Amino acid sequence: MMKAPLATVLVLLVCAFSGCAFDLVSVKQMPVTLTTDLGGDQSIMLAEAATVSIGTSFPVHLKANTVWQKIGRTEFGDAYTSKDQVLTVEASNIHEAALVVKEDSVTGFYLLLEKKFCPASSPVKINLNKKI
Amino acid sequence: MKNKLLIALLALTTIVFSGCASGPSYSAYRSNIPQLAPEKGRIYFYRTSVLGAAVQPAVRVNGSEVGSSTPKGFFYYDCAPGEYVVETSTEVTRKLSLVMAKGQERYVRLNISMGFFVGHVYPELVDNSVGTAEIEKCNYTGVKNSQ
């Protein structure tokens, strides 16, 4: 007698979740234009480690003493990539990204394949050693 | 009683490891890996964890199957420079988007996480220093496809 309700609950659970995509969290993506304007600092060095939240459970960790090369300019700041560190932003999926910096603060990330901007929850001031 | 426990332990160990890669180790196979063609890039895929050994979804790159996520296994995929999406699917599809340059070698670790009915395998791009160290513990599973 007790087995029937258990089976019902199991069937209900299967029905409830069988259509579930599980893809519950996406990184925020905003339209952006990347221009190959390489004026200003061509490369920067992060003097100290920093952590940038993007509103998911996966904050982005930036390592100290990494050198970042400018790849262009966006309306949210200059975009940089590094050979010293793989940079990705993560929610349910993972996206390779470039660091976007404006006035010594990380404003977010430029998604290299999607060509979209993923904003930081709030700008994070970083300690830079500017190089020529 | 002891024998039963031993048999159960043996059965459990067999179940856990039966799905593991059985090819040559990375260090033994390394000399057989061809030099990367100058106009191409190479992605190494590897899985260090034996957790959820029965869960071995195919690894797809831009929709084409290039290998499988065998526990303790590795394989590589040579590709033209460009944009790539790596996918693994169980009850859910996990994606990694990355950009490959000419002559570049990169490492994608296939991680496993908890799922509702089945574990989820998700691809993660890691630093080359991490990838080169971790792949040493893996065995070659074979190349399915290269671009």
Rounded mean pLDDT, A2-7: 65
Tens digits of residue pLDDT in A56-106: 989 999 999 999 999 999 999 999 999 999 999 999 899 999 999 999 999
CA-based nearest distance B4→chain A, Å: 31
Q: What is the mean pLDDT of chain B?
A: 86
Q: Spell out the alpha helix ranges (H) of chain B.
A: 2-17, 26-29, 128-134
Nearest to A86 among B115, B120, B127 (CB): B127
Tens digits of residue pLDDT in A23-63: 578 899 999 999 987 777 789 999 999 999 999 989 999 99
Cα within 13 Å of Cα(A115), Cβ side = 5
- Helix H or strand E encompassing A41: none
Q: How far apart are CA B44 and CA B134, in angstroms?
A: 11
CA-based nearest distance A20→chain B, Å: 9
Q: Is the CB of residue A96 less than 8 Å away from at least one CB of chain B? A: yes
Predicted pLDDT at A132: 45
Nearest to A93 among B94, B99, B128 (CB): B94
**Contact state of A94 with B95 under an 8 Å Cβ cutoff:** yes
Kindly tell me if the per-residue pLDDT of B13 is higher than 80. Answer: no
What single string gives the DSSP state of each residue in A87-104? -EEESSSEEEEEEEEETT
Helix (H, G, I), strand (E, B) or coil at A14: helix
Q: How far apart are CA B147 and CA B139, in angstroms?
A: 23
Kindly tell me if the per-residue pLDDT of A1 is higher than 50. Answer: no
Rounded mean pLDDT, B31-58: 90
B83: chain A residues, CB-CB within 8 Å: 112-113
Predicted pLDDT at B19: 65
B118: chain A residues, CB-CB within 8 Å: none
Tens digits of residue pLDDT in B71-126: 999 999 999 999 999 999 888 899 999 999 999 999 999 998 877 777 788 999 99
Give the ipTM.
0.81
